[in-house]
Homo-oligomer: A and B are copies of this chain.
Amino acid sequence: MRQAGRFLPEYRALRAQHGFLELCKTPALAAEVTLLPIRRFPVDAAILFADILLVLEPMGVGLEFAKGDGPVIHHPVRTREDVGRLTRAPVQMTLAFVLETIRLARAELGARAPLIGFAGAPFTLASYLVEGRGSRNYVHTKTLMYGDPRAWHALMERLAETTVDYVQAQIAAGVQAVQLFDSWVGCLGPDDYREYVLPHMRAALAAIATAGVPVIHFGTGTSALLELMRDAGGDVIGLDWRVDLAEAWGRLGPGVGVQGNLDPVALFAPPEEIRRHAARILGRAGGRPGHIFNLGHGVLPETPVEHVAALVDAVHELSAR
């Protein structure tokens, strides 16, 4: 989970010299960042360095990563007309730099570890497009969704198509698994998920599944949505830390794996406490095949690096037993 993230000093050193979008758009640098965590920790996979919002820039909405403020969309999409104005261009052209990053990272990784690609899921992309930035209450997003369902579905359809193209291009370029981030879909209740999100996720995940690469379907705050997310698709369902792993996996049934679910804030605890948390999660998974140990959401920037190392060691040691 965001292994190439902002908590590594070597990443921050690179960021001191390069803007965030510049890093993403320079394959040699992005491949280097992709490999940083795997050079430092004995993790089992590398995760592409990129951002879920990169697909939005070629739509003509004006994406910027403002210092301290997070991502900003200069022309938010709030009406049917705004949806109609979104421009369309093949991801192989507009996101060629990501595909080149994948090829470089794969060449470097060799047989050391697989490379996981990722993309934003339609709802989460839509929430940024409509709000114009991160949000607490998603007022504009839900106002469009409830107030003009036709425009909403047109937007979701468009985003689902782009997501499929983008993920398929990543797979063609060499990623060996894919994670679809529906990070903010947990702001919806089950009825709204069923009506406004599920059909688009189902279409996207079905199209992606034809590539034969494992897909992790991730969300946060989704305790009440898990069965619906499973119905939408994905080989593995991401669980955040606010749900009991054993209980959630039981609800999901036998056909699906799970990923999770350590609280990222647990990494601020003393190493022996981190170990206790890891042991509890592994105990809940009960050695059942199909559990990917991970955090429930991204590593926070202030996380002590040595605590991440302690976690990786604890997970390997405890799983080997």
Q: Which residues of A contact B (CB under 8 A)?
A: 137-139, 142-143, 146-147, 186-192, 221, 223-225, 241-244, 247, 261, 263-266, 268-270, 273, 280, 300, 302
Contacts and interface: CB of A to CB of B under 8 A. Distances in A.
B139 A302 contact: yes
A243 B139 contact: no
B263 A243 contact: no
Contacts of A187: 242
A117 to B, nearest CB: 26
Contacts of A265: 137-139, 142-143
Contact of A143 (B186, B243, B264, B268): B268
A247 B227 CA distance: 13
A270 B191 contact: no
Nearest to A141: B265
A275 to B, nearest CB: 12
A243 B190 contact: yes
Given A143-B269, A147-B270, A137 B264 contact: yes
Contact of A269 (B147, B190, B244, B263): B147
How many copies the complex holds: the figure is 2
Contact of A139 (B242, B268, B280): B268
A279 to B, nearest CB: 12
A79 to B, nearest CB: 15
Contact of A142 (B191, B192, B268): B268
A164 to B, nearest CB: 27
Query: What 8 A-B pairs have minimum CB-CB distances, sorted nearest first?
Result: A146-B269, A223-B223, A223-B224, A142-B265, A224-B243, A143-B268, A189-B241, A190-B244
Interface centre among A138, A186, A224, A266 (most CB of B within 10 A): A224
Contacts of A192: 263
28 contacts: A137-B300, A138-B265, A139-B265, A139-B268, A139-B300, A139-B302, A142-B263, A142-B266, A142-B268, A143-B268, A143-B269, A146-B269, A146-B270, A147-B269, A147-B270, A147-B273, A188-B242, A189-B241, A189-B243, A190-B242, A190-B244, A191-B280, A192-B263, A223-B223, A223-B243, A224-B242, A224-B244, A225-B242
Contacts of A261: 189
A243 B222 CA distance: 9
Nearest to A264: B137
Given A146-B273, A221-B242, 12 more contacts: A137-B264, A138-B265, A142-B263, A142-B265, A146-B269, A187-B242, A189-B244, A189-B261, A189-B263, A192-B263, A224-B244, A224-B247
